[in-house]
Structure 1
């Protein structure tokens, strides 16, 4: 889904800029990708819009680098053809999951080249780029230097097999490719040899003071998650120059004499994609990305991408000397695993976006399950029986029950209308109101601090209060002797249902939409407090 109106920051108002880590376009996204960045960011974006904040949510496919070249080799086509194919597949999956991007773009664009090269030139002019010779693996059989993801071997840190030449999936440590034990070329499986190649580096030690001051202040002020803060501090304590070029053809060309045959390393290039994707969406992109005072940037990502967003990308922006919008909140997650193993398309394990689309299970159920199972503090596990249990015992028995009982009762007993606005507030309503007000205060606090799992649990707790109110008042009994009081009770229950549709809207928007359609009422911005929101006597839709 795509929002039509293009938001613009306004001084004096809340301006929220949201990004999801850009997924590689070499495969169909799996559920871990969805909950780790895309779906989580969608919930926050929907919440911000419902609070009336000027909100821009951008994402897109990360299309350059070795993963794309590698996939193109496997599928016997060009990198651009791979990008076109998987961009479409990603878009289809996200549309099905009802992700409300303002814009879903891609990095293989002219804007990406223009902005990346401009940022590099500023870094180079400011003295933060240096040259150095690097020992790389060269495959004599393929007759080319092997970029990091074209090499695989045993991790030098944890001895896990199958470690890539840039990072180990098992221990998450970044690897210098030539440190791999028992390396192999991933294309032909021969053993590569070492050769020297000149590359460009960003001088992180020279940026130590700027980066350290910014990072320490930001992670403290905005309470970065523990995994994020720990990984960032570890890097800050041992900053080294980081190579930002690769011997590849598919990528953003390096605008420097002697380096015309090289491209930028994907993790130098990819985060700049947030800027270029925004620039492809709106000519006012600099109003979002060059206003650190008035724009609040929140970025969503998995734990394997932390240092790229907390150290490398901020260093790149700080080194230009320009007034870029810097990240405030980093919303990171641990891993979502599948049953007793990891998600892996090649191994046939896990649930991928296209798989979910074929199950017949509605997107709302998937959204709810992934969000209530969001791996915020530690890894969580996807289990099929747990998915079914949460659908039956939480969605259907809680919010489904509240909606069905209240709407059916009103249709049957009050001429297909919401009863007139309650006039006699009793102690049971006052107690209910007090409980919901307290829960809603906690909900707003959780959502503002991007504690999305907590926010969902609170929203479901508000629905439970509604169900308890129905049981305590028993309007189906009251109506036998006092129809006016029964009308007050069902009005109040419908008022709670309408409120529940609003607080759940960021999470399961289709539920809220259906409830409000049946109530013949529009959505409204999330209020500052709970109260009587319904005017009463609105005709319901059967």
Structure 2
């Protein structure tokens, strides 16, 4: 093993602990970072991967009030749910911390106090809305009213969700507290500001030295510079958050935009405390030899490219980012994914249905590196069946099956090399350098495409050298070909491991190989020993059938329809909702979700297909009175006719059928 040469500190944007992760988040800031870190570790670089939950702010406090729980209960739920989602997808952080941890509060307060003692912070009085009844200032998310631009009567204090205008609470017409509904009064409150404009010249000069950054990041920063950087408030009147560490500031916390990025530093401290090396964090954050890489979505560019670097500069000693490879957005079949609106493919759901490496590959080969891209359910099937199974899985399987059937499941010997043998290994050795260049420049899609080209070349080598013919005429040649193919399998397991980590591990088990030589530089080398037995073979990528994809498509279509524009009363009257009684129920073979129901609606019977088998057993459904749409056009699911649709509610991944409170005859209309 060679010595470690480069030192990297990689961060992914801290996900907000107020909702479940969707695949748009993964494609933006987490999967690219994980791929990059895995690649760097294969190169034997010294690298740590930092992330954690962002757990403060008004949205969390509002959610807690609405649900009648504490903010701690909200963040605990989403922190552990999202942590598991990352683990299920193989996103492998060195630490996944929390900004509610004491070490983060201490670190944020320390940096705040350092700026205060240096005389950098500015105090300003500002007018804010105040609730006499609640005895508190109302932050923007605590206020709603009429938008002065479009007249929407439920605009938030920070933005009108109807017209998209950014607002302040004082701009709202007829503002009211979202908690009590009372009309607030205007009072003055004193807050601390960070003089961002003071650092504009220095920041512009620094970013001008970063011409290797993505154009979208540079352009976004220049847009802010053109408008002129302004002082930014770094404290708020809130109960939940990092307390302002100065006397006379009770009821005030440090603004989440200021303290959340500090979470990278506090998490690094926590990591090395856990490793019994409490001072080692400085070797990463205060070492100019370290390359700091922030992986984020484009909506976080200003905080990571302008605001956080300014804070680090003002404090002194800290390094600045080497690169910020911000991604654009991954949309869902033409529609934007939104955590707040509940529209998107949740990670916790998709990992139950599909192989995590298939998910990773589908997302990684369609990353929004330079423009927004779209996720379509059919891509899962296409990528699995036509690429992973047909190219990668096929090569591994045909090689191992041949070795098992012709060489007693052992690695055969190598004999005289032909030109085709040296050519394939030379090609792999050259390709690893091509792929490295793509990874080094954050071109993940190109790296993955070139990796799959290696597997295509491996299949071509197998076909061109025809071991099935050589076994009859030249046993030594057949042995050499299969030995080479098994060596290539090992090289392939190295090359795919950044984006297909689970599959890479499976290949190593199939080869009965360890990780002693599992380094990037060993791609294209002879590693496996002859005469050693192979492990148990398995199909790496079973085919995904149309029915599996059709059901997910149906779920997405239904969800998108529910997000559509408002309908008028006359349109709604066309929908015939009736009470129905379930008289027969059976699971549909080869489907995880679908059941076939026979329902009674008055004197007639109908057949329904519904995706509820994960939540209800057939015997639990018999005799239930449910609500159905009686005048829906017939459709077919998995080849079975469905003559209507039942109504159900879904919250936090749990589905509940809508029913009636009292016994009533089936066929009764809902009015």
TM-score normalised according to structure 2 size? 0.73
Contact 2:150/2:163 (CA < 8 Å) preserved in 1? yes
Contact 1:16/1:297 (CA < 8 Å) preserved in 2? yes
Higher RCO, 1 or 2 (CA under 8 Å, sep at least 6)?
Answer: 1
1:325-364 alignment runs, 5 A limit: 325-344=319-338, 347-359=341-353, 361-364=354-357
- The equivalent residue for 2:529 is 535
1:17-416 alignment runs, 5 A limit: 17-138=9-130, 144-151=136-143, 165=157, 178=170, 186-187=178-179, 194-217=186-209, 219-220=210-211, 223-237=212-226, 238-282=228-272, 283-320=278-315, 322-344=316-338, 347-359=341-353, 361-416=354-409
Shift, 1:297, TM fit: 0.9
What do residues 338-384 of structure 1 show as CA deviations (whole Å, max 9, x unaligned)?
1231223565532112211332x111111111111111111111111
Contact 2:4/2:45 (CA < 8 Å) preserved in 1? no
Structure 1 vs Structure 2 CA RMSD: 2.8
1:442-457 alignment runs, 5 A limit: 442-457=434-449
Bigger Rg, which one: 2
CA–CA distance in structure 2, aligned partners of residues 492 and 157 of structure 1: 69
Q: Secondary structure at the match of 2:301?
A: helix
CA–CA distance in structure 2, aligned partners of residues 525 and 163 of structure 1: 55
Contact 1:418/1:539 (CA < 8 Å) preserved in 2? yes
Contact 1:275/1:285 (CA < 8 Å) preserved in 2? no
CA–CA distance in structure 1, aligned partners of residues 152 and 496 of structure 2: 42
Distance 1:431-1:319 versus aligned 2 partners, 3 A rule: same
CA–CA distance in structure 2, aligned partners of residues 162 and 513 of structure 1: 52
Contact 1:210/1:318 (CA < 8 Å) preserved in 2? no
The answer to which of 427-436 and 329-338 deviates more is 427-436
Shift, 1:404, TM fit: 0.6
**Is residue 499 of structure 2 the alignment partner of residue 507 of structure 1?**
yes
**Is residue 413 of structure 2 the alignment partner of residue 420 of structure 1?**
yes
Q: Secondary structure at the match of 1:333?
A: coil
CA–CA distance in structure 2, aligned partners of residues 158 and 503 of structure 1: 54
Shift, 1:35, TM fit: 1.9
Distance 1:498-1:465 versus aligned 2 partners, 3 A rule: same
Shift, 1:173, TM fit: 9.2
What do residues 227-263 of structure 1 show as CA deviations (whole Å, max 9, x unaligned)?
2111112223311111111111111111223323210
Distance 1:510-1:201 versus aligned 2 partners, 3 A rule: same
Size of the alignment, in residue pairs? Answer: 526
- The equivalent residue for 1:8 is none
- The equivalent residue for 1:7 is none
The answer to which of 400-409 and 81-90 deviates more is 81-90
CA–CA distance in structure 2, aligned partners of residues 518 and 411 of structure 1: 11
CA–CA distance in structure 1, aligned partners of residues 326 and 223 of structure 2: 16
Q: Secondary structure at the match of 1:134?
A: strand
CA–CA distance in structure 2, aligned partners of residues 276 and 499 of structure 1: 38
Distance 1:417-1:157 versus aligned 2 partners, 3 A rule: farther
What do residues 259-288 of structure 1 show as CA deviations (whole Å, max 9, x unaligned)?
232101101010001111111221134334
What do residues 299-324 of structure 1 show as CA deviations (whole Å, max 9, x unaligned)?
1111111110111111111101x211
Shift, 1:295, TM fit: 1.4
Gaps of 5+ in 2: 273-277, 537-671
Q: Secondary structure at the match of 1:365?
A: helix
Contact 2:19/2:78 (CA < 8 Å) preserved in 1? yes
TM-score normalised according to structure 1 size? 0.90
Contact 2:426/2:524 (CA < 8 Å) preserved in 1? no
CA–CA distance in structure 2, aligned partners of residues 162 and 435 of structure 1: 62
Shift, 1:484, TM fit: 0.9
- The equivalent residue for 1:4 is none
The answer to which of 234-243 and 150-159 deviates more is 150-159
Q: Secondary structure at the match of 1:196?
A: strand
Shift, 1:427, TM fit: 2.5
Distance 1:57-1:231 versus aligned 2 partners, 3 A rule: same
The answer to which of 394-403 and 75-84 deviates more is 75-84
